[in-house]
Amino acid sequence: MAKRTKIVATLGPATDAPGVLEALLRAGVDVVRINFSHGSNVERRRRIEAIRAAAARVGRDVAILGDLQGPKIRVECFRGGSVELREGDLFALDASLAPDAGDEHAVGLAYKALPADVRPGDVLLLNDGAITLEVEQVAGPRVSCRVRAGGILSDHKGINRLGGGLSAGALTDKDREDIRTAAELGVDFLAVSFPRDAADMEETRSLLHAAGGRALLVAKIERAEAVENIAEIVRASDVVMVARGDLGVEIGFAEVPGVQKNIIRVARAMNRVVITATQMMESMIHEQIPTRAEVSDVANAVIDGTDAVMLSGETAIGRYPVKAVEAMASACVAAEKQRATSISHHRMDDVFERIDEAIAMATMYVANHLDVKAIVALTESGSTALWMSRIRSGIPIHAFSRSESTRRRVAMYRGVYPVSFDVLAEPDGSFAAICRTLIARGIAAVGDRILLTEGHEAGVAGGTNTMKILTVEAPA
């Protein structure tokens, strides 16, 4: 059984060893993530070239996701590298301190606007929520706090305000430069860190298009404000990512499961793609098998309808990157056996405005109520395949496209499998060519029933207006 849920794997030092990239793709990776927070442009270009070469050797269309760093809401450095904060201690965050002057009493701030953003009584969470400080006084550049939950605080650890509200914009000067780099490198998806509203996504899209990029935009939901503005952010994006690390710190870890379910529901209802990320198999950075809780976490996201699940440190720096992908793929396949993943009531009461969308919805209704082996969507833009993938179904959707960029994009869509096919090269015998491709790839056999969607004018984006119920024929 082929998995329908897609796997995003982060590249890093652990994936640079010879043969690892190919092994990751064979294990089930569909999208690779390039983290712009680390490394140089030279390293990014080298990794992108390596993954393109590995995908060609494996015979797969693999998408590349570039992930912008976003604002650095962090402390600066300590003279000794770290300090231990104890409950009840006084500790200050001081924007006027030198970057390397931190000690057990105070530390500098990379985020200089923090004193203007907080007031007495606010709760600040450091190091992914492991350390809790309560603001007692703000005097000029100095924020004096009382330690409520202590621990080891080291260089460059992140700062969150419980409930959100920090004024940092989503895009920094570095991000704006990286957007131009992403356009040059030709990434297929571009993720925006810490967006607050639709305006952040619209600004990114404008900058990307101005640089000549055409990547689909991913909104990383990791701020409390983003949760409040979820509908407008989803509408302004192509993909949303449930980035549970910073999100859990800002809204509280107990709130994350419910918020995750709602984000997945909203994204699918608005025909957007959704990724679930952060610590999905965190233990596999060091261990060869996941915990039962991690497997359940992946399975719940799959059952809820996520398009993709993401690995971060597990593949970037972990000891067992390939085993992590294999474990995640197994968890996805097992979860997809649940009946809930094949039942859909999506948009049953809606009126469709576009013919191609209506065809996509009709096709999935037929697929779920007729014995068919596969769905073949002849597509230029991938839109028909996207709409189909919003319907829960166990029937595989094969996006036949001559466009390499389209095939890479649909690699992210749940239940959609890209197939290289040039409909314009076979204008008179296209169905015969489709049958040859289906048989050669083991998708269907002679006599199997399939559904085919296509446009009256071949090769025209947005022109899908026909659904056919056909039987696979033997090659002439």
pLDDT for 353 equals 76
Contact 415, 375 (CB under 8 A): no
3-state secondary structure 314-357: HHHCCCCHHHHHHHHHHHHHHHCCCHHHHCCCCCCCCCCCCHHH
Q: How sure is the predictor about 297, in pLDDT bands with cuts at 50, 70 and 90? A: very high
| pLDDT (average), residues 311-336 | 97
CA distances from 367 to 17, 92, 356 (A): 43, 62, 16
Catalytic entry in 5, 132, 278, 437: 278
Active site residue 449: no
Active site residue 468: no
pLDDT for 429 equals 63
Contact 278, 298 (CB under 8 A): no
Residue matched to tokens 């405005």: 353
pLDDT for 135 equals 98
Residue 285 has pLDDT above 60, yes or no: yes
In the chain, pLDDT over 90 holds for what percent of residues?
87
pLDDT for 341 equals 60
pLDDT for 137 equals 97
Residue 99 has pLDDT above 70, yes or no: yes
Contact 432, 473 (CB under 8 A): yes
Contact 318, 284 (CB under 8 A): yes
C-alpha 394/C-alpha 242 separation (Å) is 24
pLDDT tens figures, 161-181: 999 999 999 999 999 999 999
pLDDT for 112 equals 95
pLDDT tens figures, 65-78: 999 999 989 999 99
Residue 275 has pLDDT above 70, yes or no: yes
Q: How sure is the predictor about 349, in pLDDT bands with cuts at 50, 70 and 90? A: low
Catalytic entry in 3, 74, 244, 392: 74
pLDDT tens figures, 456-468: 666 566 678 899 9
CA distances from 68 to 77, 180, 370 (A): 23, 11, 44
pLDDT for 352 equals 73
Q: How sure is the predictor about 363, in pLDDT bands with cuts at 50, 70 and 90? A: very high
Active site residue 60: no
Residue 342 has pLDDT above 90, yes or no: no
pLDDT for 1 equals 64
pLDDT tens figures, 364-423: 999 989 999 999 999 999 999 999 999 988 999 999 999 999 999 999 999 999 999 998
Give the phi and the psi of residue 69 in degrees, each rounded to 5: -70, -45
Q: Which of helix, strand or coil describes residue 38?
A: coil
Catalytic entry in 3, 161, 196, 220: 220
Active site residue 74: yes
pLDDT for 38 equals 87
Residue type, 151: G
In the chain, pLDDT over 70 holds for what percent of residues?
95
Catalytic entry in 33, 44, 60, 196: 33
pTM score, whole prediction: 0.92
